[in-house]
Amino acid sequence: MTITEFLLPDYWMGQTPGPRYVQLRQRIEEAIEEGILGPDASLPPEREIAELTGLSRVTVRKAIQELVTKGTIIQRQGSGSFVREPAAKVEQSLSRLTSFTEDMSRRGMETTSKWLERGVFLPSPEEIVGLGLSTDDSVARIYRLRESNGQPLALERAALPLDILPNPIEVGKSLYEVLEKSGNRPIRAIQKISAINLEDEEARLLGVEPGMAGLKIQRISYLDTGRVVEFTRSIYRGDAYDFVAELRLDNPKES
């Protein structure tokens, strides 16, 4: 069946509750799930979908825009709307303190970084609080786009006290590798994970549409002495990452 035949209104319109733009969005999603629209396949133009379904152009545009926001569809200037090539999904455990490079290496995936900022700076208010610094202190800051097998996955901005990382230019692939060599690798961390919609610049760097779902992760890491050594804020693509945690009952005999 072609996508044109699949969108004929007699097959689906009015068979489920909800606004018509939602019904159309769901029908297009079904076409993708069933392989009628494969990766990088183009959707018919909005005008053609409107004529085929009897829906207004506004309704069609709203349905497609929802798919763009979800990351299912990508719009290319002057070319139209296309099914996004699915990102390789990565499962990340929340029970182990590892670096991005280590995570990808365990999966046999090559990592690269595009440096956006690297040097010594005056700390931001967030960094002062997160690292327990004074306003007179400086921080080593590294900000980079993390990629795996050529696919952008995350934006990572790390700040460390200058005595822990005197030369941020020394960081190549792995920050934790550098800290390991100096005896300053953290042994525990507290992470806070929040759901966000990606801002324009974040989306551009990650190669997705603005407004797409993402994950914001704030990590504060500690040495065995209890000293804070790392304050990192990362933005992950929501379509490429799943975070997994194992949960256990403390006292199963008491339940």
- Residue at a domain's end among 45, 67, 83: 83
Question: What is the reported pLDDT for 94?
Answer: 66
Instruction: Please say whether the beta carbons of 239 and 213 come within 8 A.
Output: yes
pLDDT tens sequence across 71-99: 788 888 888 999 987 665 666 666 677 76
Residue 65 lies in a domain: yes
60 and 183 together in one domain: no
Residue 253 lies in a domain: no
Question: What is the reported pLDDT for 90?
Answer: 65
Residue 139 lies in a domain: yes
Mean pLDDT, residues 43-67: 93
Whether the predicted pLDDT of 182 surpasses 90: yes
121 and 218 together in one domain: yes
128 and 71 together in one domain: no
Among residues of the chain, what percentage have pLDDT more than 70? 91
Count of the separate structural domains present in the chain: 2
Question: What is the reported pLDDT for 151?
Answer: 81
Residue 254 lies in a domain: no
Question: Domain of 35: which CATH number?
Answer: 1.10.10.10
User: Cβ atoms within 10 A of the Cβ of 182, count?
Assistant: 12
User: Cβ atoms within 10 A of the Cβ of 71, count?
Assistant: 22
**Closest listed residue to residue 126, CA positions, set 192, 196, 186:** 192
Instruction: Please say whether the beta carbons of 162 and 139 come within 8 A.
Output: yes
78 and 106 together in one domain: no
Residue 255 lies in a domain: no
32 and 104 together in one domain: no
Q: For the chain, give me the number of helices (H) and strands (E)?
A: 8, 10
Domain assignment of residue 148, given as a range = 90-244
Question: What is the reported pLDDT for 222?
Answer: 96
Question: Domain of 202: which CATH number?
Answer: 3.40.1410.10
97 and 78 together in one domain: no
19 and 145 together in one domain: no
45 and 75 together in one domain: yes
Mean pLDDT, residues 192-218: 90
pLDDT tens sequence across 126-160: 999 999 999 899 999 999 999 877 788 899 999 99
Question: What is the reported pLDDT for 186?
Answer: 94
What's the chain's average pLDDT? 87
Predicted TM-score (pTM) of this structure: 0.66
Residue 249 lies in a domain: no
Question: What is the reported pLDDT for 91?
Answer: 63
Give the count of alpha carbons within 13 A of 82, CB side only.
14
Question: What is the reported pLDDT for 218?
Answer: 94
